[in-house]
Amino acid sequence: MTDKLRDYFKLLDKSYSDAVADLLTKYGPAKDNYYTEESYNDYMNHRRTDLVRGKTTRTDEGLYCHHIEENKYQNLSNAVFIGAYKYPYESQKKNRLVYCNLVEHAILHTLIARETDNKFGLMGLKEFLAPEIDRWYAQEEKPATPWKVKCYDAAYLSKEDATKFLLYVKAQVGLG
């Protein structure tokens, strides 16, 4: 087992709040809200049909932005979910965001799923994160898009380590 995989497993052994704290220390806080407050309020009051993103992207460093309150709300970056479930704007503020690489993002969703009995976190893990890890590392299909290549490199796992990681994570949340 590589040191990188060992570090990922150590993060998986933590509580969700401790893992978030570790990642905030590792990557630093967000400098902007995920969506602008004005566009969010206008969207919620049906005065606009889209949301305006804040300056939160760090894909140039291979990092994704994760909503910390995804342990309370499903799919916080999705406008359809936001409108349907009337999520509070507080969940979009910069102090409710954390950066992570792809594997760390999967870990956060695994921890959420484990701590909420799969009520939250599982959809993102099952639909996006685990398949991306499988495709990129276990199937060895390196992405071609420049920002995705940076994300691929930042979280890199060998085929063997990716397979071990995915088996463990799936077992943790009952995906078999």
Cβ atoms 11, 168 nearer than 8 A: no
Confidence check: pLDDT of 176 > 70: no
Confidence check: pLDDT of 170 > 80: yes
Q: Could you give the count of Cα atoms lying within 13 Å of 57 in the half-sphere of its Cβ?
A: 8
Q: Which residues contact 57 (CB under 8 A, 6 or more apart)?
A: 65
Percent of the chain with pLDDT over 70: 99
Taking only the tens place, the pLDDT of each residue in 24-62 is 999 999 999 999 999 999 999 999 999 999 999 999 999
Spatial separation of the C-alpha atoms in residues 11 and 127, rounded to whole Å: 22
Percent of the chain with pLDDT over 90: 97
Cβ atoms 89, 67 nearer than 8 A: no
Taking only the tens place, the pLDDT of each residue in 108-130 is 999 999 999 999 999 999 999 99
- 53: three-class secondary structure by DSSP: strand
Overall size of the chain counted in residues: 176
Taking only the tens place, the pLDDT of each residue in 98-111 is 999 999 999 999 99
Domain ranges of the chain: 3-173
User: Whose CA is closest to 2, among 134, 129, 156?
Assistant: 156
Q: What is the DSSP letter of 82?
A: H
Q: Would you place residue 175 in the very low, low, confident or very high pLDDT band (cuts 50, 70, 90)?
A: confident
What kind and span of H or E run contains 67? strand 64-67
- DSSP-assigned letters across all residues of 116-174: TTTSSSHHHIIIIIHHHHIIIIIS-----SHHHHHHHHHH---HHHHHHHHHHHHHHHT
